[in-house]
Chain A
Amino acid sequence: MSETIIPWGALPYYQIHFIVLGNSKLFTEQLMARTRKRTEGIIHKKIVNVWWEGGVIADQLNRDTDLKLLLKEVLIKENDIFIEPIENCTRIHSGWKAEHKMEMNKNTLQVFDIIAGHVKKFISELRISQT
């Protein structure tokens, strides 16, 4: 439970964090990234372009064309994806979602898996370059 309890109670909005373990606090600037997108249409919303913004990892993610193709489909539902290094782990997550929108499909899971792979590889490269 949160230390500060809000008077209206917990709300039915949830977030799923995909966690890559390992202390990544040292690499916050390089590891922080988020998606940006350009959309077309209002009723039939379509994503025409997706790109990553943030630290050095954003360049690596922008070079992955397969990931970009998947993101164009997945971000319609997920809205945006964030990579956040916290003290003892790196968290990859999208926004808050209502309980009836929590179910994932295979592509969503694949996207988070690919991003986690990039994060793991990037952290190991940074560790090697530091030693």
Chain B
Amino acid sequence: MDGDEGHLEENILKIILDNLKNLGEDVEFVGINKFDIEKPPYHSHLFSGHLFRMTDNMGIINMKGKNFDCIHLMRYG
């Protein structure tokens, strides 16, 4: 069972990066707490049902050649 505990939680960034690289994208993890966009609020809370306000920042991923500027990953709770 070595390495099983918490395997995905630790490696979620790696899973996403590997997934995007497999799709042929040029991606790079930039870091955590380096940019203004990583500061809350992350949601406008103007849509019905969007009430949960506790969200953890997990960092920014840069992807080249796309219309969006970057990808922000976050965790519930």
Band of interface residues on A: 35 or more
Q: How far is the CA of A113 from the CA of B74 in the complex (A)?
A: 19
Contact A89–B54 (Cβ < 8 Å) = no
Contact A11 B68 (CB under 8 A): no
Shortest B76–chain A CB gap in Å is 4
How many interface residues does B have (CB within 8 Å)?
36
Interface positions of A from 99 to 131, Cβ below 8 Å from B = 99-100, 102-106, 109, 112-114, 116-117, 119-120
Number of A-B contacts (CB under 8 A): 119
Residues from chain B with Cβ under 8 Å of A56 in the complex: none
Contact B55 A20 (CB under 8 A): no
Select B37's contact among A1, A4, A19, A112, beta carbons within 8 Å. Answer: A19
- Would B42 and A13 count as touching, CB distance under 8 A? no
Asked if B66 contacts A20 (CB within 8 A), the reply is no
Q: Are A104 and B77 in contact (CB-based, < 8 A)?
A: no
B44 and A112 form a contact (CB under 8 A): no
A-contact 0/1 string along B1-37, CB 8 Å cutoff:
0000000110010011001100101000000000011
Hey, which bits of chain A sit against chain B, CB under 8 A? Answer: 1-2, 4, 6, 8-21, 28, 32, 34, 82, 84-89, 91-92, 96, 99-100, 102-106, 109, 112-114, 116-117, 119-120
- Sample of 15 more A-B contacts, CB < 8 Å, known A8-B77, A9-B77, A109-B25: A1-B56, A2-B55, A10-B56, A15-B74, A16-B72, A17-B72, A17-B74, A21-B69, A32-B46, A84-B47, A89-B37, A99-B12, A102-B15, A106-B23, A114-B67
